[in-house]
Copies of this chain bind each other. A is one copy, B any other.
C-alpha cells in the first residue's frame, strides 16, 4: 500500500526523480514541504515553474540567461577579446568566484563523447566558431581535466588555430592547500612539467 494519500505519493515520486535522492530522502523532503506555510510552498512551486519558463541560453555565449544576453555578455566592462570555453554553466560560476577573470565565456553544454553519442553537433561549437572575428585575441580552454574534456579542448584548438587566434589551456598542477602525498602520479608529473621559476 505505502502512501495511500495520492497527492503525497505524487510529491514523493517527484522528489525521488531528482539525482542523488533516494526513497527515504524523498519522503523526508516531501514531509518538509507539507510542513511549509501555504505561502512558502507556493514560492517553491513557482520557483520551479518559473526557472523552467524564464531561463534560456544567451544568444552570444550560450550561458544560462533570462534575457537575450547573459549578464556577463551584456556588461560593457568585460574584455570581449578573451573567450573562456567551459563545459557547463556551473563552470562559469566557479571561474567567476575567483573575481580575477575579466574576459567572456562560451558554454559548450557538454563534451565530445562518442561513447554517449555526443559529437560536436550536439555542443555549441557552431556558435563558438561564429564568434571568431578580428576582435577575439585568445581562447582559453577550460574544459574539465578528464579524457573527454581534453579531447574536446584538442578538437576545438585544431578548429580555432587556423583562424589565427591564440588558444591556451588551464594549467595543471597540485591543488592549492592539498597534500603532495595524496596527489596522483599524473597530476604530480604535470605539476613538475609545468614548474615555474620562483
Residues of A within 8 A of B (CB): 1-8, 10-11, 13-14, 17-21, 25, 27-34, 36, 38, 41-55, 64-66, 70-72, 89-90, 93, 96-97
Contacts and interface: CB of A to CB of B under 8 A. Distances in A.
Given A8-B51, A20-B28, 12 more contacts: A2-B93, A5-B70, A6-B66, A7-B47, A7-B55, A7-B66, A11-B51, A14-B47, A18-B29, A34-B51, A34-B55, A42-B49
A70 B7 CA distance: 13
Contact of A64 (B33, B34, B48, B66): B34
A contacts with B: majority SS = helix
A129 B83 CA distance: 71
Contacts of A5: 55, 64-66, 70-71
Instruction: Report the copy number of this chain in the oligomer.
Output: 2
Given A2-B96, A45-B45, A38 B52 contact: yes
A20 to B, nearest CB: 7
Most buried by B among A21, A28, A50, A52: A52
